[in-house]
């Protein structure tokens, strides 16, 4: 199944304003709020709102000063045609230029000897990471490198073909057949997809003691030809997984400036969306929202699991459950089971459990049981009203900091959006 996707990356204009740890709340919800201070974790459940310094976490917003964006949002269906997360590409290196056979001749120098130059070599086709790209949609189905120029008389060598760069998004996996040949997961990564052909030799090259007038010249070689499969694995720090309608997209809208569609029917989200959460210390955490998973997704029920490739590389996960359904804790078991079916060990990544829709009475009643089952680790909140969002934000930061520390200890390069 061809999974197409599009993700929205919007960095709020207010993000760089000083004194804002986080700024992306819809105005209607938080209008009039001052700022949030970092309260002790135990007390966070009750949301103490304090209008005191120091400003650590601000949900009042730059938005309020900002004019609403007039940019028209694309529907999920349209996004599908804009965002491509896998592509088959035929790449062929440039052909080498031909060598030339000719002889030097000038007045009073009848046998000037061979002077046919070599052809230039063909240009390579190179895949190069471009951090601005977020989809493979700009990648065409075929690329042919630039040909080398033919050689010339008077020992002139042909010019080599220029390199042809194909820009791909960060997180592109290059496969040939079933074999992974390159993983372009860091900024600036390059991969030579097809080598250019060698240039041919002119007759000057064949000059030898026993052959003073060679007429032989060779033609340039064709470039390498390969069929490659590009697969995009979105690179975000956190990946949100949950059943359809759990409120993942609502949550992403609430904590970042991304605008995924929200509706009361399942499978509203068809494409991954990435939103950026901005913290006061200028840290930016990318959070990905993917389509909903249902029980049996590994047997291709619902939208299947193919889109999980977009959270495969997330450093930590957010399990989002709808607390208003009967026995919401079973959702977590089902989600973990499906993740394990997709990739072993995926469900054991560092994670947080987000119990959404706490504003509903039946949800509030379910929270103590869920907490008891999870040892008090669930974060009860409401994406709709904004209740207790800051506990989630702090937990995301905690998980991110742990990941940063672990990466530094192992000497890994950190990636930034
Ligand atoms: N009462 C209440 N409703 C919510 C809350 N969060 C989301 N909803 C509603 O739940 C419905 C589904 O929300 P979405 O954000 O689209 O859910 P989703 O998990 O992204 O769903 P899919 O994209 O289909 O997987 C919408 O009608 C939301 O308005 C909440 O905190 N409280
Ligand atoms: Mg959604």
- The string of pLDDT tens digits covering residues 26-84 is 332 222 222 333 444 444 433 333 333 333 343 333 333 344 555 566 666 666 656 78
Pocket test for ligand 1, best of 242, 245, 360 (most atoms within 8 A of CB): 245
* Cα–Cα distance, 104 to 315 (Å, whole number): 67
Confidence (pLDDT) at 78: 65
> Who lines ligand 1 at CB under 6 A?
242, 244-250, 262-264, 266-269, 291-292, 356-357, 359-360, 382-384
| pTM score | 0.71
DSSP-based helix, strand, coil % in the chain, nearest 5? 25, 20, 55
Q: Which tens digits make up the pLDDT trace of 154-213? A: 999 999 999 999 999 988 999 999 899 999 988 889 999 999 999 999 999 999 999 889
- Distance CA(29)–CA(82), nearest Å, equals 32
Atom of ligand 1 nearest to the CA of 246: 19
pLDDT per residue over 304-314, tens digit each?
Answer: 888 888 888 88
Helix axes 361-374, 329-342, angle to 10 degrees: 60
Average pLDDT score over the chain: 81
Q: CB under 8 Å to 18, separation ≥6 — which residues? A: none
Centre of ligand 2 to C-alpha 377, Å, is: 24
Ligand lying nearest the CA atom of residue 264: 1
> 242 with 331: CB under 8 angstroms?
yes
What's the CA gap between 239 and 309, in Å, rounded?
A: 11
Instruction: Please tell me the number of the ligand nearest to residue 241's CA.
Output: 1
Q: How many CB atoms lie within 10 A of CB 394?
A: 20
* Atom of ligand 1 minimally distant from the CA of 382: 31
Residues 6+ apart with CB under 8 A from 178: none
Using CA atoms, how far apart are residues 264 and 357, in angstroms rounded to an integer?
Answer: 13
Report which protein residue has its CA nearest ligand 1's atom 9. Answer: 247
pLDDT at 407: 81
Taking the centre of ligand 1 as the mean of its atom positions, its distance from the CA of residue 249, in whole angstroms, is: 7
Q: What angle do CA 226, 230, 233 make, to 5 degrees?
A: 160
Among 267, 262, 272, 263, which residue's Cα sits nearest to residue 239?
Answer: 272
Residue with tokens 């060990």: 345
What is residue 111's DSSP assignment?
A: -
Cα separation, 368 vs 246, whole angstroms: 18
Ligand 1 atom, smallest distance to 265 CA: 24
Counting atoms of ligand 1 from 1, which one is nearest the CA of 267?
24
């Amino acid at each position: 199944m061809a999974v197409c996707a599009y993700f929205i990356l919007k960095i709020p204009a207010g993000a760089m304003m000083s004194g804002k740890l986080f700024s992306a709340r819809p105005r209607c919800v938080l209008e009039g709020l001052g700022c949030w201070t970092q309260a002790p974790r135990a007390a966070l459940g009750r949301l103490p709102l304090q209008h005191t310094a120091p400003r650590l976490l601000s949900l009042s917003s730059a938005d309020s000063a900002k004019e609403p964006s007039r940019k028209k949002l694309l529907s999920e269906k349209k996004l599908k045609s804009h965002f491509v997360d896998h592509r088959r590409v035929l790449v062929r290196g440039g052909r080498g230029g031909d060598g030339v056979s000719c002889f030097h001749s000038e007045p009073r120098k009848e046998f000037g000897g061979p002077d046919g130059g070599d052809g230039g070599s063909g240009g390579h086709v190179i895949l190069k990471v471009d951090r601005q790209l977020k989809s493979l949609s700009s990648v065409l189905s075929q690329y042919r490198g630039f040909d080398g120029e033919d050689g010339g008389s008077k020992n002139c060598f042909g010019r080599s073909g220029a390199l042809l760069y194909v820009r791909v998004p960060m997180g592109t996996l290059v496969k040939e057949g079933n074999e992974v040949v390159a993983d372009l997961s860091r900024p600036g990564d390059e991969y030579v997809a097809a080598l250019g052909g060698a240039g041919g030799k002119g007759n000057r090259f064949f000059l030898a003691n026993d052959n003073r007038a060679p007429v032989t010249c060779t033609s340039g070689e064709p470039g390498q030809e390969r069929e490659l499969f590009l697969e995009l694995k979105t690179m975000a720090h956190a990946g949100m997984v949950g059943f359809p309608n759990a409120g993942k997209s609502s949550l992403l809208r609430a904590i970042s400036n991304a605008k995924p569609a929200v509706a009361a029917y399942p499978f509203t989200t068809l494409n991954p969306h990435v939103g950026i959460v901005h913290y006061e210390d200028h840290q930016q955490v990318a959070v990905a929202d993917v389509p909903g998973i249902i029980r049996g997704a590994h047997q291709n029920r619902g939208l299947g699991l193919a889109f999980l490739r977009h959270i495969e590389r997330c450093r930590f996960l957010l399990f989002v459950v709808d607390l208003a359904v009967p026995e919401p804790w079973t959702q977590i078991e089902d989600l973990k089971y499906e993740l394990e079916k997709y990739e072993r060990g995926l469900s054991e990544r560092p994670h947080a459990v987000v119990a959404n829709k706490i504003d509903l009475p039946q949800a509030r009643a379910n929270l103590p049981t869920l907490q008891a089952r999870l040892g008090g680790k669930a974060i009860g909140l409401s994406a709709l009203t904004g209740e207790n969002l800051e506990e989630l934000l702090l937990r995301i930061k905690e998980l991110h900091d742990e990941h940063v520390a672990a990466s530094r200890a192992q000497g890994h390069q950190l990636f930034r959006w």
